[in-house]
Structure 1
C-alpha cells in the first residue's frame, strides 16, 4: 500500500525547501544580468590585460601602415630614378658648357646624361683609380683629362684595365687619340672619399674619383662637380 506524499508534513516541507533553493539562486543571478547582454558579458574589456592587448594591436597596425607607406615611397622613387636614367642614357648629347656651366655644377637628375666635349687629351696628367673590380678581377679605372679650348680640363673615365702580372700597376694602358678629339660621355657625380683609406703613394694613382683629390694632382683646372664615363670618341683610338 503506497502512502500519499503530504507536503505539509515535516519531511514534505524540508524536501520542498531543498527543491526551491537552487531555483532561488538562479533567479537572483538572472535578476542582476541584462536580458539583452550576451551570456559571456563585456566586463573583460575593462581589464588591464585586455586593454594592453588592444594597445599592442593598435600599435602594430600603425607600424604596418607606416612601413607600407615607406615601401610605397621607395618604390615610387626607384621607378622615377629608373625612368630618369633610361631617359638620360639615350638622350641626344648635350654640349658640356650647357650641361655644366660652372666648374662645380651638378644636379642629381643629370646622372648618366650624355654630354659631348671637345679638346685634347693630356696623357701626361693621366691617373689610375685603384681597387676597381671587374668580373671578379682587380684593376684600375683610367682617368684622362680632356683639355678644352677654355683651358679647363674635363676628366674622362676611359675604361678599366687589369692589375699587372708582376706589379701593382697595369701592364699596359691603351693610349687615347691624339690631337683634337670629340668625346661623348655619360655624366657621373664626383665620388666621396673612402673613409679610413689614405691617398696612394704613387703620384699617378688615386683612391677614388674624388674630383677635389684629382684636381690636386692635375696642373690644369678641372670640372669638380662631375666627370664622364666614356661612351665614344671621334676620331676613334
Structure 2
C-alpha cells in the first residue's frame, strides 16, 4: 500500500451499470467511483440496489449493461483478486463446514499462497488479521461456537488476510453488537491509515461515520446523491438503530438518513 495514495486514481469505477435479478431491473444505469485512499459508503433503503451493486463488482451478479473497472482493469479481465478483500453479508463463517477460526481466515490467504500451501509469511498474515479484529485468542475455536459479532470479525479477518489494497464490504455492521462495531471501526481505521480504499454498504453510518469520505445514496436502482454523508436525525441517531424508516417530505433538505427510505 502507498504511504501517500493518489486520490485521483480510481480503484473501482462503474459507468452506466445496469443489472437484473430474474427479469426485474435492479440497477438502472448507476455511476460510482471509488478513488485510491477513499472510503465510500453505499446507502439506501432495502431493495434500492446496494448489495446488487456490490455483487456486480465482485462478479456474483452479471451486469446487463455498462462498464466496471477494478484497479484500472475491466472487471471481465481482472484476475488479481488477492488485491481485493470482500466481506459478504454475514452468514455462518464456515458455510456449514466444521472449521476453526484460523482455518476460515487462512482461506482468505490462498489467493497469495503458492500451490495452495501456506508459507511462514502467509501464516504471519493470518495471525495479524486475527489480531486486528481481536480474535487471535480464538484461533483454534470452532466457528460454530462464535457469537454473531465474532462471526463478522472472522469474515473481516478472512478478507484482510490477503493484505488487500481495496476492501469491499456488504453491511459489515448489520446485526453486530456495539462492542464488535467499535472493534470493526478501529480495524477499518487502521486499514485506511495504511492506504486501503474502501467501499461498504451501510444502513447507517454509526461508529464508521468519522471515516466516511463520501456517501452514494441509491433509490430504486438509481443514484440519488453522491457527496457528503447524510446526517443522522431522530431515531437514526440512536445507538443500535440498524434499519430505515419512511419520513415526510420535510426531511428531504438538507440530506438526511430519511432520504434512504
Asked which structure has the greater RCO (Cα within 8 Å, sep 6+), the reply is 2
Rg comparison, structure with higher value? 1
Q: Same fold (TM over 0.5)?
A: no
Range class of TM-score, shorter chain: under 0.3
